[in-house]
């Protein structure tokens, strides 16, 4: 037996298996080698340990315990420690008093301790409910519970993953669970407590085992590395702690993998990132800064570089979401984000927390949460991640709700649709770090709307946008990057009357009835003035789309009458004229008309002059 197993000062709890079950020279994984054997060895579960200590000291030991929590936090281990505490027995020796009562103070191995920890004690029965789900399995437990324990003080039943039992099995256990014999104790462990019937939960003392915090996990891993004489830097330990997500077993398994990967060499963070396919934290921070600046090209290059180095796109976005959470915590309270983060990360987090508004961080978090699921479900994860980053970069340019309300109250829209910045101070920083907001490239359909000169009596007010005609309104929608409104203006509006502050039109077939209210709100926001937008009973002029189609059709008819074209069509039966393009026209795809090609590219529509010379 290892001496550390009987050492009261042992912090980790090293209890190797007995010689008959552990062949000489066989390797034990760290998760088993350093499995806690006392309550003092459990890490991150102080509330539960304190409750159990008081219960045992007051001799108020419950008949059944329900242990819940995620994988690897110590549910089965706690159950075995409890079984050991129920049956702890230590004979008197060398002036030491005998111990013959349940206790959690187990500094030495008792009579039954080693057999219980090795799951081979006759009176401590462990059952996996995933493979024993039927009423017949529970009937065996109920029948055997009537008999006294063979050796120990209590007969203990440990049922792991108890939520896997069938409904009839749960019902068959209820009576015995409520009024068990005095020599029987039940210990249940589950990762899905909601699947356990409430009738079972109400008969148990429940303990929710928490995920182990990163700082506690770091200390635990560092102590194990010291005992194993493994050289590893703190950044690598931090990566393991984060990747384990609060599971001690996962952390020790990753540490085992890292030791084997290093083959005796010191373990560095870069080596660990390559092994686990994790993203570099500095690259994640650089990616976030690029997105907040609106530098999409740099962000996509960053993502591609990390992907080429082996990082998973979904993991990159998850790390990005974690950093956004970190910056948000820094913005709320610097003290809450100081634990388990590197110096560089703390400095960058503090800097970004000062510059970014809470609305930007919250919006980015929501976009990433949805985007991570899209990437995981996509057959092309990298392409899906690219689109999530594009969405996130353009969303960073949106004003916050308080900025919109402030602009509406003061009738002071941001000129040219540029990003609005929140006031400095503790309530918020700039809505984005961008210096040049990203914009979609588009051709101009008409001259840009003009700005009226400022009034001398209102020196502080922003100039109102004056629209001379309907085409300037379409151009303004394009400049604002509102493609949906721009398309509706071109396809659905039959213009009746247009003047500054007033727009009357009829709707084309299939148009949305809500277009009137939408245009009224958008015009007020874009121009800083209230507009009267009304539907007219008049037929109205053809829509811009219909006008463009008519001009295109006239071109085809005129060209088709040309003798050379007519001869060509006769020579090639079935040939049709797809598009007519002048020498100075913008080059378009020969497979589609001018309007459709411009729409597919997201550009403005170029309306050809009727007097333009047609060139075949």
- Whether 194 and 230 share a structural domain: no
Strand, helix or coil at 125? Answer: strand
CA-CA-CA-CA torsion sign (101, 102, 105, 108): positive
> What is residue 426's predicted lDDT score, i.e. its pLDDT?
34
The pair phi, psi for residue 466, each rounded to 5°, is: -105, 125
The first and second tokens of residue 40, run together, are: 């003092």
Is 273 domain-assigned?
no
Residue 420 domain-assigned (yes or no)? no
Domain that holds residue 243: 214-263
Sign (positive or negative) of CA dihedral 406, 408, 412, 418: positive
pLDDT of residue 535: 83
What are the φ/ψ torsions at residue 66 (nearest 5 degrees)? Answer: -115, 120
Supply the DSSP symbol for 99. Answer: B
CA 593 to chain centre: 43
Shared domain for 382 and 242, answered yes or no, is: no
Looking at the fold, whether 204 and 319 belong to one and the same domain comes out as no
Is 157 in a helix, a strand, or coil? strand
What pLDDT is stored for residue 600 in this prediction?
35
On whether residue 422 sits in a domain, the answer given is no
| Domain shared by 258 and 138, yes or no | no
Are 374 and 473 found together in one domain?
Answer: no
Alpha carbon distances (Å) from 82 to 37, 158, 419: 10, 10, 60
Residue 280's pLDDT is: 65
Residue 580 lies in a domain: yes
Q: Looking at the 3D structure of the chain, how many domains does it have? A: 5
| Mean pLDDT, contiguous 10-residue spans, the chain (616 residues) | 39 41 69 88 90 91 92 91 91 79 87 89 91 90 92 93 92 91 94 92 92 88 89 85 86 88 80 71 85 88 85 88 88 66 75 85 90 90 92 76 69 46 38 39 42 42 70 87 85 87 85 82 84 83 86 80 79 76 51 37 36 37
191 found inside a domain = yes
Alpha-carbon radius of gyration of the chain: 36
Q: Taking every pair of C-alpha atoms in the chain, what is the biggest distance, in angstroms? A: 124
- What is the pLDDT at residue 421? 39
Rounded to whole angstroms, what are the CA distances from 282 to 267, 354, 392, 477, 531?
19, 19, 19, 39, 50
What strands lie across the sheet with 205-208, from one edge to the other?
124-128, 155-160, 184-190, 64-68, 205-208
Q: What is the pLDDT of residue 83?
A: 93
Does residue 459 lie within any of the structural domains? yes
Inside any domain, residue 6? no
- Whether the CB-CB separation of 112 and 87 falls below 8 Å is answered with yes
Q: Domain check: are 378 and 454 in the same one? A: no
- With beta carbons less than 8 A apart as the criterion, state whether 138 and 172 touch: yes
CATH number, domain containing residue 292? 1.20.272.10
Do residues 228 and 186 both lie within one domain? no
Together in a domain, 204 and 114: yes
Assess whether 326 and 310 both reside in one domain. yes
Q: b/e for 313-332, b at 16 or more Cβ within 10 A?
A: bbbbbbbbbebbebbbbbbe
Quote the CA–CA distance of 604 and 479 in Å, as a whole number: 10
Structure confidence at residue 401 (pLDDT): 65
Do 514 and 573 lie in a common domain?
A: no
Q: What is the length of the chain?
A: 616
For β-strands 64-68 and 502-507, DSSP reports them as unpaired
């Amino acid at each position: 037996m290892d001496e550390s197993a009987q050492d009261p000062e042992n912090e980790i709890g090293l209890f190797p298996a007995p010689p008959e079950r552990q062949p000489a020279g066989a390797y034990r994984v760290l998760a088993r080698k350093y499995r806690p054997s006392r309550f003092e060895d459990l890490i991150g579960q102080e509330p539960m340990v304190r409750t159990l200590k008081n219960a045992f000291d007051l001799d108020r030991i419950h008949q059944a315990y329900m242990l819940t929590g995620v994988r690897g936090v110590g549910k089965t281990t706690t159950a075995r420690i409890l079984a050991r505490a129920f049956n702890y027995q230590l004979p008197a020796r060398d002036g030491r008093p005998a111990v013959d009562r349940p206790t959690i103070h187990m500094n030495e191995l008792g009579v039954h301790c080693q057999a219980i920890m090795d799951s081979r004690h006759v009176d401590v029965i462990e059952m996996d409910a995933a493979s024993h789900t039927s009423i017949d399995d529970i009937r065996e437990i109920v029948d055997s519970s009537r008999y006294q324990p063979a050796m120990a003080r209590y007969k203990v039943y440990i049922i792991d993953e108890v939520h896997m039992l069938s409904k009839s099995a749960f019902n068959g256990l209820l009576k015995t669970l409520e009024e068990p014999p005095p020599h029987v104790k039940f210990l249940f462990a589950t990762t899905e407590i909601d699947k356990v019937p409430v009738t079972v939960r109400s008969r148990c003392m429940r303990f929710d085992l928490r995920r182990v915090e990163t700082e506690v996990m770091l200390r635990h891993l560092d102590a194990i590395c010291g005992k194993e004489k493994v050289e590893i830097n703190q950044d690598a330990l931090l990566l393991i702690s984060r990747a384990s997500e609060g599971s001690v077993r996962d952390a020790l398994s990753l540490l085992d993998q890292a030791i084997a990967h290093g083959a005796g060499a010191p373990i560095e963070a870069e080596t660990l990132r390559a092994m686990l396919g994790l993203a570099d934290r500095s690259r994640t921070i650089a990616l976030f800064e690029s997105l907040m600046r609106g530098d999409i090209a740099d962000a996509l290059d960053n993502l591609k570089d990390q992907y080429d180095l082996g990082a998973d796109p979904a993991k990159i976005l998850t790390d990005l979401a974690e950093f956004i959470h970190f910056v948000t915590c820094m913005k709320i309270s610097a003290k809450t984000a100081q634990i388990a983060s590197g110096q560089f990360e703390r400095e960058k987090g503090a800097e970004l927390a000062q510059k970014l508004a809470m609305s930007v961080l919250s919006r980015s978090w929501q976009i990433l949460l949805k985007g991570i699921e899209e990437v995981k479900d996509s057959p092309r994860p990298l392409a899906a991640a690219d689109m999530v980053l594009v969405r996130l970069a353009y969303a960073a340019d949106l004003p916050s709700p308080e900025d919109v309300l402030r602009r509406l109250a003061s009738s002071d829209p941001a000129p040219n649709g540029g990003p609005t910045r929140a006031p400095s101070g503790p309530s918020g920083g700039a809505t984005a770090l961008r210096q040049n907001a990203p914009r979609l490239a588009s051709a101009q359909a008409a001259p840009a709307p003009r700005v009226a000169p400022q009034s001398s009596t209102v020196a502080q007010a922003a100039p109102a946008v004056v629209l001379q005609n309907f085409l300037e309104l379409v151009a303004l929608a394009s400049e604002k990057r509102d493609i949906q409104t721009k398309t509706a203006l071109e396809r659905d509006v039959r213009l009746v009357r247009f003047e500054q502050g007033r727009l009357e039109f009829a709707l084309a077939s299939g148009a949305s009835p809500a277009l009137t209210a939408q245009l009224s709100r958008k015009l007020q926001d874009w121009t800083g003035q209230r507009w009267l937008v009304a539907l007219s009973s008049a037929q109205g002029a053809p829509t811009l789309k219909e006008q463009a189609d008519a001009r295109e059709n006239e071109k085809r008819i005129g060209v088709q009458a040309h003798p050379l074209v007519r001869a060509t069509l006769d020579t090639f039966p079935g040939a049709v004229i797809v598009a007519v393009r002048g020498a100075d026209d913008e080059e378009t795809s020969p497979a589609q008309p001018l309007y459709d090609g411009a729409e597919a590219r997201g550009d403005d529509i170029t309306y050809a002059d009727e007097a333009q010379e047609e060139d075949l």
